[in-house]
Amino acid sequence: MRILQLCNKPPFPPIDGGSKAMYDLTRGLIEARQQVKVVCITTPKHDLDTSGMPSEIVEKSGIEGVFVDTSLNVVDAFADLITADNYNISRFFSPDMDIRLIRLLAAEQFDVVLLESLFMAPYIPTIRRYSDARVVLRSHNLEHVIQERIATGEKNILKRPYRRFLARQLKNYEMEVLDRVDAVAAISPVDRDNFLRHGTRTPIATIPFGVVPADYDTTPAKGPLTFFHLGSMDWLPNEEGVHWLVDQVWPRLLRKQPKARLHLAGNRMPRDLIARQTNGLQIKGRVKDAGRYMAERHVMVVPLFSAGGMRVKIIEGMAMGKCVISTPIGAEGIEATHDKDILIARNMTEFVEQMDRVLREPDLATRIGTQARHLIEQRYDTRRIVKDLITFLKGLQKA
């Protein structure tokens, strides 16, 4: 098949969950001998840098970027509020990107156009006008669910109504897009079921994020057991969760375990967190090598309350044989079982309890991590996932 993969940000370098999900799919499709062309949006925050990408992937994907200024603009946001457009989506539309698509679609034929995330939906009219390809939305998250959860947790009574309005607006848009694409590749069974509850007749398959297990070293970390969190802090759910972890959970754990250690890192780490001086707590910003940072620590903590979709970092941690302690929302979409291949904590008391338990039971982290790695090998191997996606896409062509 000839596949055009349209990305809302550069898949390389794979510095966050979204970019990793896109890059691993590109690599997997090429290794499965599919013809892939990649066009991505580059932004003030995310630039395309292929210097570290394997030359074969660069050549076979023909990857290119088009700059789009997606920076928040108060005037544009207010204008979209008046016109009922959704600013979260509309700021990803650019005449430059549209022109590049027109020229590409006029010059080349594709069997499938794969939209990486809802943010590429504004280009559907152009795709329909210049191509007969099947248009498939690869839904990384149910975006309106994230916004609903953020709105529910918003403490500012002035911001809360506006966030609820944005969530309703985004939900309407997301459901409309369902009827404008030929199929949806949902990132998790939870997202698939949410789509189906809205009564859509659009074909939907669950195509989760995957990894190549051989890429992940399972050598146990050395030294005293250390909890860690790694994630981009310019994403509001991460910022909220980490503040909760530091403000609510950590002080209570220290009362039980005064020698406990917690390391936090991530791009755009808030200054108030970096300035914290608390026993056992180490906080830094962006790290040069995320894989090494994770490998040198023991137990991953995922304190999320307003996310959606599927957390790539959890899949990677499991692939490295790490024990993961997560909220139910953090682990949402991952077919893991509490006390077998993950530890689930629903609230502050349970989070403290699970962290304390790991420290009290020396073999627990090893047992959970070993089973987590087994789960990744059985369910989240990219080769299996790409095979399922290709089967799904070929079925669309026959329909």
Residue 117: which CATH number? 3.40.50.2000
CA separation for the pair 130, 183 (Å, rounded): 19
Same domain, 234 and 117: no
Positions of the chain with pLDDT lower than 50, given as ranges: 74-85
Three-point CA angle 322, 327, 333, nearest 5°: 80
pLDDT single digits (tens) 230-281 = 998 887 889 999 999 999 999 999 999 999 999 999 988 998 898 888 899 9
Whether residues 84 and 98 fall in one domain:
yes
Q: Give pLDDT, residue 144.
A: 58
**288 and 388 housed in the same domain:** no
SS3 state of residue 64: strand
Q: Are residues 228 and 149 in the same domain?
A: no
What pLDDT does 78 receive?
Answer: 45
Query: What is the structure's pLDDT at 75?
Result: 43
If one counts the domains in the chain, the total is: 2
258 & 269 share domain: yes
| Residue 192 shares a structural domain with residue 300 | no
Domain range for 29: 2-210+381-398
The reply to whether 147 and 242 lie within a common domain is no
Q: How far apart are CA 362 and CA 372, in angstroms?
A: 17
Helix, coil or strand: residue 248: helix
Token pair listed for 389: 């996606």
Q: Which phi and psi angles does 177 have, rounded to 5°?
A: -60, -30
**164 and 205 fall within a common domain:** yes
The reply to whether 148 and 246 lie within a common domain is no
Q: How far apart are CA 125 and CA 325, in angstroms?
A: 43
Q: What are residue 343's phi and psi, to 5 degrees?
A: -115, 125
> What are the residues whose beta carbons fall under 8 Å from the beta carbon of 337, sequence distance 6 or more?
none
Supply the pLDDT for residue 46. Answer: 82
Strand, coil or helix: what is 42? strand
Q: What is the pLDDT of residue 364?
A: 97
Q: Give the pairing of strands 183-186 and 134-139.
A: parallel
Q: What residue has token string 């994020």?
A: 209
Closest CA to 24 of 319, 293, 299, 237: 319
Same domain, 303 and 204: no
Residue 383: count of CB within 10 angstroms of its CB: 12
pTM of this prediction?
0.83
pLDDT digits (tens, 9 = 90+) for 51-70: 999 999 999 999 999 999 87
CA distance 240 to 238: 5
Q: Are the CB atoms for 349 and 343 separated by under 8 Å?
A: no
Torsion-angle region of 65 (φ positive above 0: left; ψ -120 to 50: alpha; else: beta):
beta
Q: Which pLDDT score, from 0 to 100, does residue 76 have?
A: 46
Tell me, what's the pLDDT at 206?
Answer: 93
Shared domain check, 291 and 241: yes
Residues 328 and 190 in one domain: no
Contact 266, 231 (CB under 8 A): yes
